[in-house]
Amino acid sequence: MLALPERRRPKRRRHPRAAGIQKIGHRIMKIELDFLAVLAQWPLLAKGVVWTLALTVLSAVLGGVVGVACAWMRAYGAKPLAWIAATYVELIRNTPFIVQLFFIFFGLPAAGVKLTPEIASIIAMVVNLGAYAAEIVRAGLDATPRGQFDAAKALGLGRMQMFRLVVLPPALAKVWPAMVSQIIIVMLGSAVCGQISTEELSYAANLIQSRNFRAFESFIIAGAIYLLLAIAVRKLLDWVGPRFLFGASAKAGAR
């Protein structure tokens, strides 16, 4: 008698994973996102943004110089110089940034060069951007019409003058969009520098989530800030380039 009611109830056949899926469903409903807990730590985030921008500006300027120098070496330098530049470019472009960073920060001290995390980050970013910039600038140099050289020669300009005044500005103007994209890629890549405790934005996000266990929220916010930075930096560089880097001469030359 007692066992009967249980027997009558038909056993519901359920998919073996149904229970698990249901549990997940409940959990999704139960999750409360608390973005304010992350935003309350805004001084940390602000410091992170400042570091990220500082790293980006420094590496963009220095990396740009390295890039132009290597592009010159490859395009007009003597054979050994061109070969050195090509090797550098290929080595960097075919290895991950994180390995370059770890090599500089963990590897070089073993060879006797001790660096702070910040210096190691900047060196890694400059070396990285320099290689990509070299390739980008070279594409611009290759597109220089022959007549430009002849005209510069006819004006009696020296080799360096010719490069600096006649060849480089229009070449930069031509490849500026690619250069801006690369600078932004390097800025986003700088998130890795947090791994060697450079206190940039992703480091701040990690620090915040280790304090309040709001991992999801803090990375969402960090991601949103990076996105805004990427958009803002692109706007800024699109504005800066034509005004300060390659002026009227470039406009004339690009035509």
Partner 1 sequence: MVEFSLWDIARNLLLSVRWTVALSLVAFIGGGVVGLLLLYARLGGGRVAGKLVGGYVQVFQGTPLLIQLFLAFFGIAALGVNVSPWIAASVCLTLYSSAYLAEIWRGCVDAVPKGQWEAAKSLGLSFAQQLRLIVLPQAARIAIAPTVGFMVQVIKGTALASIIGFVEITKTGGMIANATFQPFLVYSFVAAFYFALCFPLSWWSKRLELKMSASGR
Q: Does 180 bind partner 1 (CB under 8 A)?
A: no
Q: Which of 1, 4, 28, 248 binds partner 1 (CB under 8 A)?
A: 28
Residue closer to partner 1 by CB (options 223, 242) is 223
Q: Does 191 bind partner 1 (CB under 8 A)?
A: yes
Residue 53 CB, nearest distance to partner 1 (Å)?
14
Q: Does 62 bind partner 1 (CB under 8 A)?
A: no
Q: Which of 108, 115, 178, 254 binds partner 1 (CB under 8 A)?
A: 108
Q: Does 222 bind partner 1 (CB under 8 A)?
A: yes
What's the Cα-to-Cα distance from 54 to each of 60, 133, 208, 222, rounded to whole Å?
10, 19, 21, 17
Q: Does 123 bind partner 1 (CB under 8 A)?
A: no
| Residues found near partner 1 in the complex (CB under 8 A) | 23-24, 27-28, 31, 90-91, 93-100, 102-103, 106-111, 184, 188-192, 194-195, 202, 205-206, 209, 215-216, 219-220, 222-223, 226-227, 230-231
